[in-house]
Every structure is written in C-alpha cells, then in structure tokens.
Chain A
Amino acid sequence: AQKVTQAQTEISVVEKEDVTLDCVYETRDTTYYLFWYKQPPSGELVFLIRRNSFDEQNEISGRYSWNFQKSTSSFNFTITASQVVDSAVYFCALSEAETDSWGKLQFGAGTQVVVTP
C-alpha cells in the first residue's frame, strides 16, 4: 500500500507566485521522519527539509516553509515567491523508525512544479 501520497501531479505557476505542495502519509509508528526532496532535470535528489514526528512546530527557512499536522497525517510544503530555478519534481518521503526499516525512504509519486517567467 502506498504510504506517501502526493495527489498533485503537476503545478504550474508564474514567477513570484507561492506554491504549496501537498503530502499525506500513512504509518503506525509513533516515531517517524518526513522529508522533502527536490529533483531538478539533472536527476539528483536534493534534500530540502526534515521533520520528526514529535515536533509539529512549523518553520520557515528562507523561501521554504512547511506545515506538519499529525491529526491529518499531512506534511505540506510551500515555496514563497517562486523562481524559475524552483522548477523541478518535488518528492515527499517517509522514514519509519522500526528496526527493519534501516535506511529505507518511502517516496510519494512526486509533484512536477513548473515556474514560468
């Protein structure tokens, strides 16, 4: 069963608009970690942010911010004032703190963000 769902396949915006990416996860663990990665056309997955299940405080880091809500199992990610360089595929990922999940990230299907000038 898919444990991470990214319902948005593609989002197109004009530069300087804000972009919010949705992520819904499923886990029975009480301890888990959530991540957002960015994959530009070059293919490399670039780490953006990480959050653990015990810290629901939402933060802002530069133009990035996130909204973690355990009650709805959601971990949404926002890019403020988007730029053309933000065009990429964004992946939400889950890591469960069970002993049989060492080094295993479970990814959503990804959301393609297209930012036009």
Chain B
Amino acid sequence: KAGVTQTPRYLIKTRGQQVTLSCSPISGHRSVSWYQQTPGQGLQFLFEYFSETQRNKGNFPGRFSGRQFSNSRSEMNVSTLELGDSALYLCASGTESSTDTQYFGPGTRLTVL
C-alpha cells in the first residue's frame, strides 16, 4: 500500500506571495492533518480534515487555510507569506478515530525569502 505523498517536496517563495501544498493520504484513509515544523517552535498542529470538513484547527493565523476533496486529497494554502513561514510542512493521514495512529508523508520544505 502506497504511503502518504506530498508535493512539491521543496519550494522557494518570496514574502507576500502565496503557496499551495498538496497531500494525498494512504488509500482508504479519510483523515488528513497538517503540521508545521520549525527549529524554534517544533512540531505544531495546523488543522485536520475529515470527509471534506475541517474538524480541528490549531493556533495559526487566518493566512493558513486548507481544504479536502472528495477523494480525501488535501491542500494547504498560505497567503501573504512571511519569513517566519519558512518551515517543513508535514501531512499525516489516519482512518476515522481522533486517536488513531497518524502516518506522515515526507514533508514539503518551504523557504520564504
């Protein structure tokens, strides 16, 4: 069974631009969660989607948004990029339970110049 895939793997943007990251979960998984990893703040939860609905959201500004499609694929968007948005963005997929094991993708490394 294929794992979680994320595209692109690397991205360079400039301040003020916007970016869209994509995540395809493991086949049969309906939950997709997004995390931001930075050296200063560590791993932080962004949001989780299940059956095209956002179920939970972390403490991030409204510039961070996401959505999920009917095939469970998810996209994350960051508008008006700031230097501090440079990070590794990890996507995880799970089945249905809030406490199910989440399996992570390889991440998208975003650099904002």
Q: How many residues of A contact B (CB 8 A)?
A: 30
Q: Mark B78-102, 1 if CB is under 8 A from A, else 0.
A: 0000000000101010100011011
Q: Mark B30-46, 1 if CB is under 8 A from A, else 0.
A: 01110100000011010
Given contacts A95-B98, A97-B99, A100-B56, whether A105 and B105 have CB atoms under 8 Å apart is no
Query: Which residues in B have their C-beta under 8 angstroms from that of A50?
Result: 101
Assign chain B's interface to a size class: 20 to 34
Query: Which residues in B have their C-beta under 8 angstroms from that of A110?
Result: 42-43
Contact A47 B109 (CB under 8 A): no
Interface membership of B64, Cβ < 8 A: no
Query: Which residues in B have their C-beta under 8 angstroms from that of A98?
Result: 98
Name the interface residues of B51-96: CB closer than 8 Å to any CB of A: 55-56, 58, 88, 90, 92, 94
Query: Within the assembled complex, what's the spacing in Å between the Cα atoms of A108 and B44?
Result: 10
Query: Which residues in B have their C-beta under 8 angstroms from that of A33?
Result: 99
- Considering the complex, give the chain B residue whose CB is closest to the CB of A52: B99
Contact A42 B106 (CB under 8 A): yes
Query: Within the assembled complex, what's the spacing in Å between the Cα atoms of A106 and B43?
Result: 8
Residues of B bordering A, CB below 8 Å: 31-33, 35, 42-43, 45, 48, 50, 55-56, 58, 88, 90, 92, 94, 98-99, 101-107, 109
> Nearest 4 pairs between A and B by C-beta?
A103-B48, A45-B104, A107-B43, A102-B55
